[in-house]
Structure 1
Amino acid sequence: MRPIRPSGPHDSILARAALGTARAIGHACRWCHRRRYELAPAAASATLTGLSWLHHFNGVSVVEHLMYAAVTATASAGAVFALNNKHKSFATGAASAAAVLGDTWIGAGLGPSIPSLIATGLVTGGAYVPYMRWLTRERQDRLKLQVAAAKAGVGAEALGAGTYSALTGASPEETKLMQALVAMLSIPAVDVTALEHTRFGWRAVVVLPPGRDTAPAKVIARREQLSTNIGLPGKLRLAKGARDNELVVFMYETDPLAQTLAWPGPSTTTCREPAVLGMDAFGQPVQIPLLYNHVLIGGASDNGKSSLQSVLIAYVAACEDAEAVLIDLKPGAVELGPWDPCALSLADSPAKALHTLEWLWAEVQRRGELMAELGRRQGKPVKKWIPGVHGPAIFVFIDELAELMRQLPNAAKLLESLLQVARFTGITLVCATQSPSNRVFGGNTDGRQQYQVRIGLGAKESTTANLIFGPGAYGDGWCLDELEGPGYFLRWDRDNQVPVVSRAFYMDEDEIGATVHRYGREEARVEAREHPAHTPDPDDDPTPPQPPTPPGPGGPGGGRPVLRAVPTFPDGTPIADERHLALWQAVEAAGRDGITIDNLVALGLPEFNARSSVNGPLSQWRAKGWVEHAGKQGRAMAYRLAPRKATVLAGAQASAASEESEACPASL
């Protein structure tokens, strides 16, 4: 027995070639079947010409030539007779028969030749003139009948497929789709292409006819009606195609997103590879290029924003060349707080959030100067921070961006600057919000333009899609109000600009706890994580001098950013409002001599450009004993900060007096 030769690259090439050939033949056969009525005259003419050539090769006798001549003359005489008696249909048929017989006679007499081909072309073209008129009229009549039947509740099957019907496709699914579209739009589709079966159902691309009522957005808005008209089992999903008049139809017989998708664990240990967020409706993993791409996550509450952020934070925690910074101003930081052990820092108050954003801006400047110095030493510019080479990337997760802007309105400009210039330094922002409008960014500019990745979860209003993906997105198929439930989302980025329904992985509390325990910051792990200040340069040169900025993640404190002390009022409460902080510092800088209200107004502090605006905070601080008179400067009274010890003592005495009055009420 001859040994079986193992397959090699040559066999795989032949297999791919055979598969490609079979696929091309299949596409050609489906195209011919779809265009069978249009191809009928050409196919008949080509068949008769081929038979006449075969007759030529077998030899044509004189008797046969006379028979060709007699039949052709008879058909011509019949056409003339019909024209004289005004029988238009009979005249058309007789003239067509005479032309076909003449072409066959020429082919039999001359064989394969230029005159025979010319005669065949003329006959074929002439045959299409009356044939297409007749075919168009028959199709219109058939369409009117089927549309009327569909509106009356009679299925197309009751009428029969019928000859010359425009609603018969190359497969039962295509036929159902074409009939459903014409019943809904009262006009047939231009074409149905690329119908293919998948392991979850089938998919087709429909070329819709031009018109306002036949645009893809109009059909998508009537998805339930189209699904009812199709009448096939499964779940129908629609999306706008690559062209303006294309509609992508998905029919899922088995839905891959029906069940909750458990988080499979980290897929990589480097942030230079994309994060796997979930699965799309085709059963393919949804990969998010997180590095160098700011991410905007929007949608109504209770639709999975926090769970989706947890998957991304777990991705960052598993990456050895990435760090996470968390900002959560919800009371108790209930959403991002559990991830605190895996992060550089957690800002859970307005003051901490402001200091974190300021530290991030200082880190952007420090990294930019470091990259410039590296470029000068290497003789070529360093335009992008490479994690693992220059130091770790930093991913900033902000839960509920709108709440951050409400509590820190003056942080909008700082956030806008980070969105515009932080990417090249390896600092990426991942922001989640329920209302991603320009008001969220301070009302000055629309910061959504800086988000290269946008993720939309379920929403009740159609306008939410336009807020997340841009004006007109809902009409293009980005319909967030049609998503089934929590975890379902639509994703847009440079490589994915067609809406495809996806579902994110879900992490329960136990999985979050286990992940935090695995990647949490222990002392040994903290010392092992390197920072740009500790990482040797590629050419082993010493690190260039640092600019006078706040310490970076590699400074004291176990790798966390060292934030300056939070300014507080004399009673210990933090000064969260940046405007009040500037006014407080101006009074403090005046010293014992104090400063007048007019001089405070002249400083041009934010939103303190009038005496009335300054009088309010000063009056409150005087009532609490934090500010006192410092005497007059000219005709105006000056103010200064009261000594802290006196203020605290006065507060303690007032508190004791209050307690005593409550314990010993005055007798009547």
Structure 2
Amino acid sequence: MPRHQMRRNARRMRRSGVEPVMLMSDDLDFAPVAITVIGHWLWRYRSELAPFTVALLAEGAAMALHITHPTWWPIILITTAVITWAVSLFGESIGLTRGIERAYAAATLFLIGGWIAAATVLGPGNPPLPAILGIGGLATAIPWWAHRRRRARVRVERTLAAWPEIAQAVGLAGSRIQSAVVDLWGYRARVALARGQTVEDAITKLPALESALGTRRGAARVQPIPEKANRLELRVIETDPHPDAITWPGPSVTSIAQPVELGVFEDGSPARVSLLRRHALVGGVAGAGKSGGVNVIMGNLSACPDVIVWGIDLKRGMELLPWSSCLGRIATTPKEAEALLRDAVAILDGRAEMLAMQGVRVWEPTPQAPALIVLVDEYAELVDEAPAAIVSADSIARRGRAVATTLIAATQRPSQKARGNSAVRSQMDVRISFRVRERRDADLILGQGMHKAGWHADKLDAPGKFLISAPEHDMPRRARTYLLNDETVQQAAARHAERRPTLDPVSVVALEEAPGPDDADTVVAASPKGRHVRKAAQESAEEALWIALRDAPEDGISLGDLIDATGMSRPTIYRRLSQHEADGRVQQVSRGRWRARDEPNAE
């Protein structure tokens, strides 16, 4: 019986109250025990002994070929050359990812094959073949023994070989390791849980697992495997893959319809998330990297010609003013913030009304009809200093998705009061959490119960590291955001400023008709007007509408000009245009611009 099984049986007997008894016998046969011990030792150190095993196999193969087929040496050389060529070219498919590894494998195979071919002709004992085998074997063994990944793999295998004892110690008795893979930063193992055990049970035992595995604190990760509820992936990070800040490589999108790349996960894959028709919350304590995350978002959105960004920064623009050339509007005081959000709601209403009249469900962003994103830096200040603005933010959160009017809120104080008691809390589809101080703060940012499910934002150990929860990110995976220094922000803002779109005609008209104080802060630049439409003071509003449509230029007349010409309200204009279009009298030239058909069907 192997020694470790004997020790395990002894421990079980002691737990049962039975003391193990040692029997001494003069006729005890130690040969089976010695064979068992030696076999166990050879198996345990099989990786270190691999060069000697290969040398013995080469010796045996050469001896057999020399006796039975001494004329096969050309075939052996040709086969060796083919295998060496295949390994040097296609070794990556069998795990030899680095060029130096493929070169080592090819050289070793060539030396072994060449020695076997020579020994087949001359005999393995004929000098100088034994000396060549010994010296060459030792020379090729040194890189094998020194190889870091091999040593790491052996260490992991020996650690996980003790998994039954580890599982018993941490309270996951009956679970087993199915497979393990060593990577550049550590290793990951697929674990099959015992009946009745859940992934949540393993997550609660992470500190005990780290202690049993001998890792540093915070090194272990537990992630569920979607295919089966009783499977999980245990990942151990031995070397931090992102110990330093990662320089921003530049914008990853050219349209708001594409997912924005925020940073890099620990496995090297990009952390991407879609912001179209999704409200987002970015949270974290001061110094955790929240502002860096906002800069990454702005750097990508400013490169999209189909989205307009309005900014609110009640710290007098300290964070967003460097992006002012790329912002359609920016509010730095509570009064300006209230006006900006009120205007955003007016645009939302105008777009919704237009879509309803046309029977269309969603607003598809284009450079001519861009999406609108309101980015609020330090949302908690908005709640405290401009409570009236929260009503508008609530309206955007509830109704803004379909019309591509969305909200991104960033805060250092992720309390319920700081986020307001409104729909804003529940409508945030995208949650990005940088480091927080307390567990409850992780739940306030990411959602109730998320910390218990493994979203440990309080354990993030460096600025810029974050967790992201979104429909496409339902497992806790740590990532690190890109870093934009002041010079990079200035360069990106200057480069993207010339490509920023303007508001579409529907939104412009909505702003012109929006009720509210006539304040300079609420004025936005409107798109160019069409040619002046004469008013028919003596004619009815219906006749004035038809004259305006008939005299419209080739690119049509805007809704604002039609309202000026007829005195009709916007809903009435929409109804009359819809009726005329159904009768074949008018056509919509582009979004928000109309004209009469050249050959109307009726007067």
TM-score bracket relative to the smaller structure: 0.5 to 0.7
User: 1:491 Cα shift?
Assistant: 0.7
Which letter does structure 2 place at the counterpart of 1:305? Answer: K
Instruction: Quickly say closer, same or farther: Cα 1:277–1:178, change in 2 above 3 A.
Output: farther
Q: Is the 8 A contact 1:531 1:554 kept in 2?
A: no
Partner in structure 2 of residue 458 of structure 1:
435
Identity across the alignment (%): 28
Counterpart in 1 of 2:213? 230
Aligned to 1:418: 396
Aligned to 1:496: 473
What displacement does 1:284 show? 0.2
| TM-fit CA distance, 1:245 | 5.5
SS of the equivalent of 1:397 reads: strand
Q: 1:427 is matched with which residue?
A: 405
Which of 486, 491, 498 is matched with 1:514 structurally? 491
Match of 2:514 in 1: 549
Residue identity in the other structure for 2:169? A
User: Is contact 2:347-2:511 (8 Å) kept?
Assistant: no
**Following the alignment from structure 1 to structure 2, what is the Cα–Cα distance between the partners of residues 460 and 233?**
20
Residue 363 (structure 1) shift: 0.4
**Structure 2 counterpart of 1:498, which letter?**
M
Quote the RMSD (CA, aligned, Å): 3.9
**Cα distance in 2 between the residues matched to 1:146 and 1:197:** 37
The change in CA–CA distance for 1:138 and 1:170 in structure 2 (over 3 A counts) is farther
SS at match of 2:408: strand
In structure 2, C-alpha distance between the alignment counterparts of 1:297 and 1:545, rounded to whole Å: 30
Q: Give 1:36-435 correspondences, 5 Å limit.
A: 141=9, 144=12, 171-185=157-171, 188-209=173-194, 216-217=199-200, 219-221=202-204, 223-231=206-214, 236-241=219-224, 242=226, 246-330=231-315, 332-373=316-357, 375=358, 381-388=359-366, 391-435=369-413
* Residue identity in the other structure for 1:172: R
Instruction: Spell out, residue by residue over 1:82-116, the C-alpha distance to the aligned partner (whole angstroms, 9 max, x if none).
Output: xxxxxxxxxxxxxxxxxxxxxxxxxxxxxxxxxxx
Tell me by how many angstroms 1:335 deviates.
1.2
User: Are 2:175 and 2:194, in contact at CA under 8 Å, matched by a contact in 1?
Assistant: yes
Whether the aligned pair in 2 keeps the contact of 1:416 and 1:441 (CA below 8 Å) is: no
Counterpart of 1:533 (choices 482, 488, 505) is 505
Query: What are the Cα deviations for residues 127-186 of structure 1, in whole angstroms up to 9, with x where unaligned?
Result: xxxxxxxxxx999847748999xxxxxxxxx9x989xxxxxx99435324444333333x
Equivalent-residue separation in structure 2 for 1:404 and 1:546 (angstroms): 22
- 1:7-18 to 2 correspondences below 5 Å: none
Counterpart CA distance in 2 for 1:412 and 1:534 is 25
Supply the distance in 2 between the matched residues of 1:311 and 1:335 (Cα, whole angstroms). 12
Residue 237 of structure 1, CA deviation? 2.4
What letter is aligned with 1:447? V
Decide whether the 8 Å contact of 1:438 with 1:447 is kept in 2.
no
Paired residue for 2:146? none
Q: Per-residue deviation at 1:447?
A: 2.9
Contact 2:210 2:216 in 1 (8 A): no
SS of the residue corresponding to residue 520 of structure 1 reads helix
Letter of the structure 2 residue corresponding to residue 370 of structure 1? M
How many angstroms does 1:412 deviate by? Answer: 2.3
How does 1:554-573 map onto structure 2 within 5 Å?
Answer: 557=525
TM-score norm. by structure 2 comes to 0.57
1:340 deviation in Å?
1.0
Contact kept, 8 Å, 2:334 with 2:385, in 1: the verdict is: yes
Provide, for residues 267-288 of structure 1, a one-character-per-residue CA deviation record: whole Å limited to 9, x for no partner: 2211111100000011100001
Equivalences, count: 386
Alpha-carbon distance, 1:413 to partner: 2.3
Find the residue that maps to 2:247 and give its secondary structure: coil
Q: Which amino acid aligns with 2:465?
A: Y
Q: Mind listing any 5+ residue stretches in structure 2 that lack a counterpart?
A: 17-36, 42-154, 529-603
Question: C-alpha distance in 1, partners of 2:527/2:329?
Answer: 9
Q: Is the 8 A contact 2:261 2:272 kept in 1?
A: yes
Q: Give me the whole-angstrom Cα distance separating, in 1, the residues matched to 2:241 and 2:15.
A: 35
Can you list the C-alpha shifts for 1:371-402, whole angstroms capped at 9, x where unaligned?
Answer: 233x2xxxxx3211111176111121101111
| CA-to-aligned-CA distance 1:540-592 (integer Å, 9 cap, x gap) | xxx999982379x99863879xxxxxxxxxxxxxxxxxxxxxxxxxxxxxxxx
Q: Distance in 2 between matches of 1:503 and 1:372?
A: 42
In structure 2, C-alpha distance between the alignment counterparts of 1:372 and 1:468, rounded to whole Å: 35
Deviations 1:613-644 (A, max 9, x none): xxxxxxxxxxxxxxxxxxxxxxxxxxxxxxxx
C-alpha distance 145-360 of structure 1, shift in aligned 2 (>3 A) = farther
Cα distance in structure 1, aligned partners of 2:511 and 2:236: 59
Q: CA deviation at 1:197?
A: 3.6
8 Å CA contact 1:189–1:206 kept in 2: the answer is no
Structure 2 Cα separation of the partners of residues 225 and 368 of structure 1: 54
Pairwise CA distance, 1:317: 0.6
Paired residues of 1:180 and 1:229 also in contact (CA < 8 A): yes
Are the equivalent residues in 2 in contact too, given 1:263–1:507 (CA < 8 A)?
yes
Q: Determine the C-alpha separation between the residues in 1 that align with 2:447 and 2:201.
A: 19
- Match of 1:452, SS state, is strand
Structure 2 CA distance, aligned partners of 1:545 and 1:520? 25
Residues in 1 aligned to 2:313 and 2:15: alpha-carbon distance in whole angstroms: 57
Q: Residue 382 of structure 1 aligns to a residue in which SS? A: coil
Structure 1 unaligned blocks of 5 or more: 1-36, 38-136, 149-157, 163-168, 376-380, 536-542, 561-668
CA 1:433–1:178 in structure 2 vs 1: closer, same or farther (change >3 Å)? farther
> Does the CA-based 8 Å contact 1:184-1:226 persist in structure 2?
yes
The CA deviation at 1:475 is: 1.0
SS at match of 1:439: helix
Cα distance change on mapping 1:237 and 1:245 into 2, 3 Å: same
Q: Report the structure number with the largest CA radius of gyration.
A: 1
Given that 2:167 and 2:175 are in contact with CA atoms closer than 8 Å, whether structure 1 keeps it comes out as no
- Equivalent position amino acid for 2:303 in 1: A
Which residue does 2:418 correspond to in 1? 440
CA–CA distance in structure 2, aligned partners of residues 416 and 161 of structure 1:
68
